[in-house]
C-alpha cells in the first residue's frame, strides 16, 4: 500500500513522495484531490505555483533532494571522494548549514524548513480529514 509522506506542487503540477512496501517512491502527474485523499492525517503539503519563480528554480536545481525515509535531522551528503558515497551527518538546526548540494538528501523537516526560508511565496498546509488546512500568512 502506498503511503504519501509529502504532497507538493511545483511549476509543473502536483507530485507526491512516499513509501510503498518499505521502498520510497515518487509520483507525478496525479491530481491534488487524489494525492490528498490518499494522504494520512498530518501529511505536509506545499504549493509553489505562485512562489518566486527564480528562487524556486534555484532551490530545485541546486538545492538538496528530499528523502522521506530519513529520520528528522539526518542528512546524507554526497562525497566526491574516491568511493563516491553518501556520508551521514546530523543537523540540529535545519537551515544553519548554508549550503547543500543538489546531490545531498535531507529529511522532510529540513527540506520543508529550507523551502520555507529560501522560496518566498510558497504556501504550506497539512492534510486533515482528507483535505488540506493551509497555514494563514
The predicted pLDDT at position 102 comes to 87
The predicted pLDDT at position 79 comes to 67
Which residues of the chain are under the pLDDT cut of 50? 84, 93-97
The predicted pLDDT at position 128 comes to 97
The predicted pLDDT at position 80 comes to 59
Between the CA of residue 93 and those of 32, 40, 116, 118, what are the distances in Å? 31, 26, 14, 15
The predicted pLDDT at position 119 comes to 97
Q: Which of 15, 67, 2, 75 is nearest to 45 (CA)?
A: 15
Burial class (CB in 10 A: 0-12, 13-18, 19+), 8: buried
- Side-chain-side CA neighbours of residue 133 (13 Å): 7
**pTM for the whole structure:** 0.85
Amino acid at each position: 500500500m502506498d503511503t504519501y509522506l509529502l504532497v507538493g506542487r511545483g511549476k509543473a503540477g502536483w507530485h507526491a513522495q512516499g513509501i510503498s512496501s518499505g521502498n520510497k517512491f515518487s509520483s507525478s502527474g496525479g491530481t491534488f484531490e487524489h494525492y490528498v485523499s490518499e494522504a494520512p492525517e498530518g501529511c505536509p503539503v506545499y504549493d509553489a505555483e505562485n512562489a518566486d519563480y527564480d528562487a524556486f528554480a534555484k532551490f530545485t536545481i541546486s538545492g538538496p533532494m528530499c528523502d522521506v525515509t530519513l529520520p528528522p535531522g539526518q542528512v546524507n551528503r554526497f562525497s566526491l571522494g574516491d568511493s563516491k558515497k553518501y556520508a551521514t551527518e546530523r543537523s540540529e538546526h535545519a537551515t544553519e548549514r548554508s549550503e547543500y548540494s543538489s546531490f545531498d538528501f535531507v529529511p522532510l523537516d529540513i527540506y520543508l524548513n529550507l523551502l520555507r526560508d529560501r522560496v518566498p511565496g510558497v504556501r504550506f498546509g497539512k492534510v486533515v480529514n482528507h483535505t488540506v488546512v493551509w497555514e494563514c500568512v
